[in-house]
Structure 1
Amino acid sequence: MDQVTQFLSHIDSKTIGITPLNHFEAQSGLPRSYAVLGVVAVYFVLIFLNVGGIGQLLSNIAGFVVPGYYSLVALQTTTTADDTQLLTYWVVFAFLNVVEFWSKAILYWIPFYWLFKTIFLLYIGIPVTGGAVQVYNGIVAPIAERVVGGGKGIASEINDAASGVSSAVDY
Protein backbone atom coordinates (compact mmCIF):
# COMPACT_ATOMS: atom_id res chain seq x y z
CA MET A 1 0.00 0.00 0.00
CA ASP A 2 1.20 3.48 -0.71
CA GLN A 3 1.18 6.21 1.95
CA VAL A 4 -2.08 7.82 0.82
CA THR A 5 -3.94 4.51 1.01
CA GLN A 6 -2.43 3.84 4.44
CA PHE A 7 -3.47 7.32 5.61
CA LEU A 8 -7.04 6.83 4.38
CA SER A 9 -7.19 3.37 5.98
CA HIS A 10 -5.95 4.86 9.25
CA ILE A 11 -8.72 7.49 9.16
CA ASP A 12 -11.28 4.77 8.42
CA SER A 13 -10.08 2.59 11.30
CA LYS A 14 -10.09 5.48 13.80
CA THR A 15 -13.63 6.60 12.87
CA ILE A 16 -15.46 3.27 13.05
CA GLY A 17 -17.67 4.22 16.02
CA ILE A 18 -18.82 7.60 14.70
CA THR A 19 -22.47 7.24 13.67
CA PRO A 20 -22.73 10.07 11.09
CA LEU A 21 -19.67 8.72 9.29
CA ASN A 22 -21.14 5.21 9.32
CA HIS A 23 -24.34 6.62 7.77
CA PHE A 24 -22.28 8.48 5.16
CA GLU A 25 -20.45 5.26 4.25
CA ALA A 26 -23.67 3.22 4.09
CA GLN A 27 -25.58 5.75 1.98
CA SER A 28 -22.82 6.81 -0.40
CA GLY A 29 -20.75 3.65 -0.66
CA LEU A 30 -17.64 5.77 -0.14
CA PRO A 31 -15.15 5.28 2.69
CA ARG A 32 -15.59 7.34 5.88
CA SER A 33 -12.21 8.95 5.24
CA TYR A 34 -13.65 10.81 2.23
CA ALA A 35 -16.21 12.52 4.47
CA VAL A 36 -13.52 13.41 7.02
CA LEU A 37 -11.25 14.87 4.34
CA GLY A 38 -14.21 16.73 2.83
CA VAL A 39 -15.07 18.35 6.16
CA VAL A 40 -11.42 19.29 6.70
CA ALA A 41 -11.26 20.80 3.20
CA VAL A 42 -14.44 22.84 3.78
CA TYR A 43 -13.04 23.96 7.16
CA PHE A 44 -9.86 25.29 5.54
CA VAL A 45 -11.78 26.90 2.66
CA LEU A 46 -13.94 28.76 5.19
CA ILE A 47 -10.81 29.96 6.98
CA PHE A 48 -9.27 30.94 3.65
CA LEU A 49 -12.34 32.95 2.58
CA ASN A 50 -12.88 34.45 6.07
CA VAL A 51 -16.45 35.47 5.23
CA GLY A 52 -17.89 37.49 8.11
CA GLY A 53 -14.80 36.92 10.23
CA ILE A 54 -15.40 33.17 10.47
CA GLY A 55 -11.73 32.53 9.66
CA GLN A 56 -10.69 34.01 12.99
CA LEU A 57 -13.24 31.89 14.88
CA LEU A 58 -12.26 28.67 13.10
CA SER A 59 -8.56 29.41 13.58
CA ASN A 60 -9.06 29.89 17.30
CA ILE A 61 -11.11 26.71 17.50
CA ALA A 62 -8.23 24.79 15.91
CA GLY A 63 -5.88 26.45 18.39
CA PHE A 64 -8.01 25.33 21.34
CA VAL A 65 -9.63 22.04 20.37
CA VAL A 66 -6.66 20.03 19.08
CA PRO A 67 -4.21 20.93 21.89
CA GLY A 68 -7.07 20.91 24.39
CA TYR A 69 -7.76 17.29 23.47
CA TYR A 70 -4.09 16.39 23.78
CA SER A 71 -3.96 18.22 27.13
CA LEU A 72 -6.86 16.15 28.46
CA VAL A 73 -5.11 12.98 27.30
CA ALA A 74 -1.85 14.17 28.92
CA LEU A 75 -3.60 14.70 32.24
CA GLN A 76 -4.57 11.02 32.20
CA THR A 77 -0.99 9.78 31.74
CA THR A 78 1.61 9.28 34.45
CA THR A 79 4.57 10.61 32.46
CA THR A 80 5.53 14.28 32.43
CA ALA A 81 7.01 14.50 28.91
CA ASP A 82 3.61 15.12 27.30
CA ASP A 83 2.72 17.58 30.07
CA THR A 84 5.86 19.62 29.35
CA GLN A 85 5.18 19.57 25.60
CA LEU A 86 1.63 20.85 26.07
CA LEU A 87 2.57 23.41 28.70
CA THR A 88 5.10 24.70 26.19
CA TYR A 89 2.32 24.88 23.59
CA TRP A 90 0.07 26.94 25.88
CA VAL A 91 2.94 29.35 26.67
CA VAL A 92 3.63 29.82 22.93
CA PHE A 93 -0.10 30.16 22.23
CA ALA A 94 -0.44 32.85 24.92
CA PHE A 95 2.62 34.66 23.56
CA LEU A 96 1.15 34.59 20.05
CA ASN A 97 -2.19 35.94 21.29
CA VAL A 98 -0.51 38.84 23.12
CA VAL A 99 1.52 39.73 20.02
CA GLU A 100 -1.56 39.37 17.86
CA PHE A 101 -3.63 41.62 20.13
CA TRP A 102 -1.14 44.47 19.87
CA SER A 103 -0.65 44.12 16.11
CA LYS A 104 -4.22 43.50 14.95
CA ALA A 105 -4.25 46.57 12.67
CA ILE A 106 -1.15 45.32 10.84
CA LEU A 107 -2.36 41.72 10.63
CA TYR A 108 -5.57 42.86 8.96
CA TRP A 109 -3.55 43.67 5.85
CA ILE A 110 -1.76 40.30 5.62
CA PRO A 111 -3.59 38.17 3.05
CA PHE A 112 -4.75 34.79 4.32
CA TYR A 113 -3.48 35.52 7.84
CA TRP A 114 -6.05 33.24 9.50
CA LEU A 115 -5.16 30.35 7.21
CA PHE A 116 -1.45 30.75 8.01
CA LYS A 117 -2.24 31.10 11.71
CA THR A 118 -4.35 27.93 11.68
CA ILE A 119 -1.60 25.93 9.99
CA PHE A 120 0.92 27.35 12.47
CA LEU A 121 -1.32 26.51 15.44
CA LEU A 122 -1.73 22.95 14.21
CA TYR A 123 2.05 22.72 13.72
CA ILE A 124 2.76 23.81 17.28
CA GLY A 125 -0.31 22.07 18.75
CA ILE A 126 0.22 18.53 17.50
CA PRO A 127 2.84 16.99 19.80
CA VAL A 128 4.37 14.77 17.10
CA THR A 129 5.72 17.81 15.22
CA GLY A 130 7.55 19.29 18.22
CA GLY A 131 6.76 22.73 16.84
CA ALA A 132 5.89 24.31 20.19
CA VAL A 133 9.28 23.42 21.66
CA GLN A 134 11.10 24.79 18.60
CA VAL A 135 9.17 28.08 18.67
CA TYR A 136 9.58 28.37 22.43
CA ASN A 137 13.34 27.78 22.31
CA GLY A 138 13.86 30.04 19.31
CA ILE A 139 11.59 32.99 20.12
CA VAL A 140 9.81 32.92 23.47
CA ALA A 141 12.64 31.69 25.74
CA PRO A 142 15.07 34.49 24.85
CA ILE A 143 12.38 37.10 25.48
CA ALA A 144 11.26 35.39 28.69
CA GLU A 145 14.86 35.28 29.92
CA ARG A 146 15.09 39.06 29.61
CA VAL A 147 11.78 39.54 31.40
CA VAL A 148 11.96 36.95 34.20
CA GLY A 149 15.48 35.63 34.01
CA GLY A 150 17.83 35.21 36.93
CA GLY A 151 16.21 37.57 39.42
CA LYS A 152 17.45 40.61 37.51
CA GLY A 153 14.66 40.99 34.97
CA ILE A 154 11.60 43.17 34.80
CA ALA A 155 9.63 40.66 36.86
CA SER A 156 12.07 41.10 39.75
CA GLU A 157 11.65 44.88 39.61
CA ILE A 158 7.86 44.50 39.60
CA ASN A 159 8.03 42.16 42.60
CA ASP A 160 10.26 44.63 44.46
CA ALA A 161 7.85 47.49 43.72
CA ALA A 162 4.85 45.39 44.77
CA SER A 163 6.61 44.42 48.00
CA GLY A 164 7.36 48.07 48.70
CA VAL A 165 3.75 49.07 48.15
CA SER A 166 2.52 46.14 50.23
CA SER A 167 4.80 46.94 53.16
CA ALA A 168 3.85 50.64 52.96
CA VAL A 169 0.16 49.69 53.15
CA ASP A 170 0.79 47.59 56.27
CA TYR A 171 1.82 50.68 58.23
Structure 2
Amino acid sequence: MSSVQTHPAVQQAQDKAGYYLSQLDKELSKYGPANTFEQKTQIPKTYGAIGVALVVLVSLFINTLAHSISNLVGFVLPAFLSVKAIESPGHEDDVQWLTYWVVFGTFTVVESVALRLALYYLPFYFVFKTIFILWLQLPATKGARTLYFSILKPVLANNGRLGPVGAQ
Protein backbone atom coordinates (compact mmCIF):
# COMPACT_ATOMS: atom_id res chain seq x y z
CA MET A 1 0.00 0.00 0.00
CA SER A 2 1.39 3.41 -0.91
CA SER A 3 2.12 6.03 1.70
CA VAL A 4 -0.61 8.26 0.24
CA GLN A 5 -3.33 5.70 0.94
CA THR A 6 -2.19 5.26 4.52
CA HIS A 7 -1.83 8.96 5.24
CA PRO A 8 -4.13 9.99 8.13
CA ALA A 9 -5.79 12.75 6.07
CA VAL A 10 -6.65 10.28 3.31
CA GLN A 11 -8.00 7.79 5.86
CA GLN A 12 -10.07 10.53 7.48
CA ALA A 13 -11.47 11.61 4.09
CA GLN A 14 -12.33 8.00 3.21
CA ASP A 15 -14.06 7.50 6.57
CA LYS A 16 -16.05 10.72 6.15
CA ALA A 17 -17.04 9.80 2.57
CA GLY A 18 -18.14 6.36 3.77
CA TYR A 19 -20.21 7.95 6.52
CA TYR A 20 -21.96 10.32 4.11
CA LEU A 21 -22.59 7.52 1.60
CA SER A 22 -24.17 5.39 4.34
CA GLN A 23 -26.33 8.34 5.44
CA LEU A 24 -27.43 8.92 1.84
CA ASP A 25 -28.20 5.20 1.44
CA LYS A 26 -30.24 5.27 4.65
CA GLU A 27 -32.24 8.29 3.42
CA LEU A 28 -32.75 6.87 -0.08
CA SER A 29 -33.98 3.57 1.40
CA LYS A 30 -37.15 5.41 2.47
CA TYR A 31 -38.17 5.85 -1.17
CA GLY A 32 -39.54 2.97 -3.22
CA PRO A 33 -38.27 4.15 -6.61
CA ALA A 34 -34.69 4.30 -5.30
CA ASN A 35 -34.96 0.74 -3.98
CA THR A 36 -36.51 -0.46 -7.23
CA PHE A 37 -33.73 1.22 -9.20
CA GLU A 38 -31.13 -0.60 -7.11
CA GLN A 39 -32.86 -3.98 -7.47
CA LYS A 40 -33.36 -3.72 -11.23
CA THR A 41 -29.97 -2.29 -12.17
CA GLN A 42 -27.75 -3.77 -9.45
CA ILE A 43 -26.28 -0.27 -9.10
CA PRO A 44 -26.26 1.05 -5.53
CA LYS A 45 -28.93 3.72 -5.15
CA THR A 46 -26.36 6.11 -3.67
CA TYR A 47 -24.29 5.92 -6.87
CA GLY A 48 -27.44 6.42 -8.94
CA ALA A 49 -28.36 9.54 -6.94
CA ILE A 50 -24.83 10.92 -7.19
CA GLY A 51 -24.86 10.18 -10.94
CA VAL A 52 -28.14 12.02 -11.42
CA ALA A 53 -26.81 14.95 -9.39
CA LEU A 54 -23.68 15.08 -11.56
CA VAL A 55 -25.69 14.93 -14.79
CA VAL A 56 -27.87 17.79 -13.54
CA LEU A 57 -24.79 19.79 -12.54
CA VAL A 58 -23.07 19.25 -15.90
CA SER A 59 -26.30 20.03 -17.73
CA LEU A 60 -26.53 23.36 -15.94
CA PHE A 61 -23.36 24.39 -17.74
CA ILE A 62 -24.88 23.54 -21.14
CA ASN A 63 -27.09 26.51 -21.91
CA THR A 64 -29.64 24.61 -23.99
CA LEU A 65 -30.59 22.45 -21.01
CA ALA A 66 -29.85 24.81 -18.14
CA HIS A 67 -33.10 26.78 -18.17
CA SER A 68 -35.30 23.68 -18.16
CA ILE A 69 -33.29 21.88 -15.50
CA SER A 70 -33.23 24.94 -13.28
CA ASN A 71 -37.01 25.22 -13.53
CA LEU A 72 -37.46 21.49 -12.82
CA VAL A 73 -35.33 21.83 -9.67
CA GLY A 74 -37.55 24.72 -8.64
CA PHE A 75 -40.78 22.83 -9.27
CA VAL A 76 -40.65 19.02 -9.02
CA LEU A 77 -39.46 18.38 -5.46
CA PRO A 78 -41.30 21.38 -3.96
CA ALA A 79 -44.53 20.27 -5.67
CA PHE A 80 -44.14 16.75 -4.28
CA LEU A 81 -43.34 18.03 -0.78
CA SER A 82 -46.21 20.53 -0.95
CA VAL A 83 -48.66 17.71 -1.61
CA LYS A 84 -47.20 15.79 1.32
CA ALA A 85 -47.53 18.92 3.48
CA ILE A 86 -51.19 19.33 2.54
CA GLU A 87 -51.84 15.73 3.61
CA SER A 88 -49.89 15.97 6.89
CA PRO A 89 -51.70 16.91 10.11
CA GLY A 90 -49.32 19.69 11.20
CA HIS A 91 -49.14 23.15 9.70
CA GLU A 92 -45.42 24.01 9.96
CA ASP A 93 -44.63 22.25 6.67
CA ASP A 94 -47.62 24.03 5.07
CA VAL A 95 -46.09 27.37 6.05
CA GLN A 96 -42.67 26.26 4.74
CA TRP A 97 -44.00 25.36 1.29
CA LEU A 98 -46.54 28.16 0.97
CA THR A 99 -43.77 30.63 1.78
CA TYR A 100 -41.53 28.91 -0.79
CA TRP A 101 -44.17 29.23 -3.52
CA VAL A 102 -44.76 32.93 -2.78
CA VAL A 103 -41.03 33.70 -2.95
CA PHE A 104 -40.41 31.39 -5.93
CA GLY A 105 -43.35 32.94 -7.80
CA THR A 106 -42.10 36.45 -7.10
CA PHE A 107 -38.60 35.49 -8.23
CA THR A 108 -40.02 33.92 -11.40
CA VAL A 109 -41.92 37.10 -12.28
CA VAL A 110 -38.85 39.29 -11.66
CA GLU A 111 -36.70 36.87 -13.63
CA SER A 112 -39.11 36.91 -16.59
CA VAL A 113 -38.66 40.68 -16.82
CA ALA A 114 -34.89 40.74 -16.30
CA LEU A 115 -33.76 37.41 -17.79
CA ARG A 116 -32.05 38.81 -20.88
CA LEU A 117 -30.13 41.28 -18.73
CA ALA A 118 -29.13 38.56 -16.24
CA LEU A 119 -27.98 36.21 -19.02
CA TYR A 120 -25.94 38.99 -20.62
CA TYR A 121 -24.14 40.09 -17.45
CA LEU A 122 -23.94 36.88 -15.40
CA PRO A 123 -22.04 33.93 -16.83
CA PHE A 124 -23.40 30.63 -15.53
CA TYR A 125 -26.62 32.36 -14.50
CA PHE A 126 -28.58 29.10 -14.33
CA VAL A 127 -26.01 27.49 -12.02
CA PHE A 128 -26.42 30.38 -9.60
CA LYS A 129 -30.20 30.32 -10.04
CA THR A 130 -30.33 26.60 -9.21
CA ILE A 131 -28.18 27.09 -6.11
CA PHE A 132 -30.46 29.96 -5.09
CA ILE A 133 -33.58 27.82 -5.61
CA LEU A 134 -32.09 25.02 -3.52
CA TRP A 135 -31.30 27.57 -0.79
CA LEU A 136 -34.94 28.71 -0.91
CA GLN A 137 -36.19 25.10 -0.63
CA LEU A 138 -34.06 23.59 2.07
CA PRO A 139 -35.71 23.58 5.48
CA ALA A 140 -32.25 23.77 7.07
CA THR A 141 -31.52 27.14 5.43
CA LYS A 142 -35.08 28.54 5.51
CA GLY A 143 -34.15 30.72 2.56
CA ALA A 144 -37.72 31.35 1.40
CA ARG A 145 -38.76 32.35 4.90
CA THR A 146 -35.75 34.65 5.24
CA LEU A 147 -36.52 36.45 1.97
CA TYR A 148 -40.21 36.65 2.71
CA PHE A 149 -39.78 38.28 6.12
CA SER A 150 -36.83 40.48 5.17
CA ILE A 151 -37.99 41.72 1.74
CA LEU A 152 -41.47 40.72 0.56
CA LYS A 153 -43.46 41.29 3.74
CA PRO A 154 -42.00 44.75 4.45
CA VAL A 155 -42.56 45.83 0.83
CA LEU A 156 -46.15 44.61 0.89
CA ALA A 157 -46.78 46.15 4.32
CA ASN A 158 -45.40 49.53 3.22
CA ASN A 159 -47.73 49.50 0.24
CA GLY A 160 -50.76 48.88 2.43
CA ARG A 161 -51.28 45.32 1.17
CA LEU A 162 -50.62 43.69 4.54
CA GLY A 163 -51.05 44.68 8.13
CA PRO A 164 -48.06 46.06 10.04
CA VAL A 165 -44.84 44.08 9.83
CA GLY A 166 -44.83 41.83 12.88
CA ALA A 167 -42.79 39.04 14.35
CA GLN A 168 -41.97 36.00 12.33
Q: TM-score, normalised by structure 2?
A: 0.77
Match of 2:149 among 120, 129, 137: 137
Q: How far apart, in 1, do the equivalents of 2:163 and 2:138 lie?
A: 31
For 1:113-132, list aligned pairs within 5 A: 113-132=125-144
- The one-letter code sitting in structure 2 at the alignment partner of 1:7 is Y
Matches within 5 A, 1:1-171: 2-16=15-29, 17=32, 18-24=35-41, 26=42, 31-50=44-63, 52=64, 54-109=65-120, 110-147=122-159, 148-150=161-163
CA contact (8 A) 1:123 1:129 kept: yes
| Paired AA for residue 46 in structure 2 | S
Counterpart residue number, 1:167: none
State the alpha-carbon separation in 2 of the partners of residues 149 and 72 from structure 1. Answer: 27
> Offset at 1:144?
1.6
Number of matched residues? 145
Q: Which has the higher helix share?
A: 1
Q: Is the 8 A contact 2:99 2:148 kept in 1?
A: yes
Once residues 20 and 87 of structure 2 are traced to their aligned partners in structure 1, the CA distance between those partners, rounded to angstroms, is 27
What secondary structure sits across from 1:58 in the alignment?
helix
CA contact (8 A) 1:62 1:118 kept: yes
Deviations 1:39-94 (A, max 9, x none): 111111101222x2x11111000000121121111112111111111111001001
Alpha carbon RMSD of aligned pairs, Å? 2.1
- Asked which structure has the greater CA Rg, the reply is 1
Q: 5+ unaligned residues in a row in structure 2: which ranges? A: 1-13
Whole-angstrom CA distance in 1 between matches of 2:162 and 2:16? 46
Structure 1-normalised TM-score? 0.76
Contact 1:125–1:132, Cα closer than 8 Å, also in 2:
yes
Instruction: Report the equivalent of 1:164.
Output: none
1:35 Cα deviation after fit: 1.9
SS in 2 for 1:127: coil
Shift of the 106–23 alpha-carbon distance from structure 1 to 2, 3 Å rule, reads same
- What is the CA distance between 1:19 and its match in structure 2? 2.2
Question: Aligned-pair distance for 1:3?
Answer: 4.4
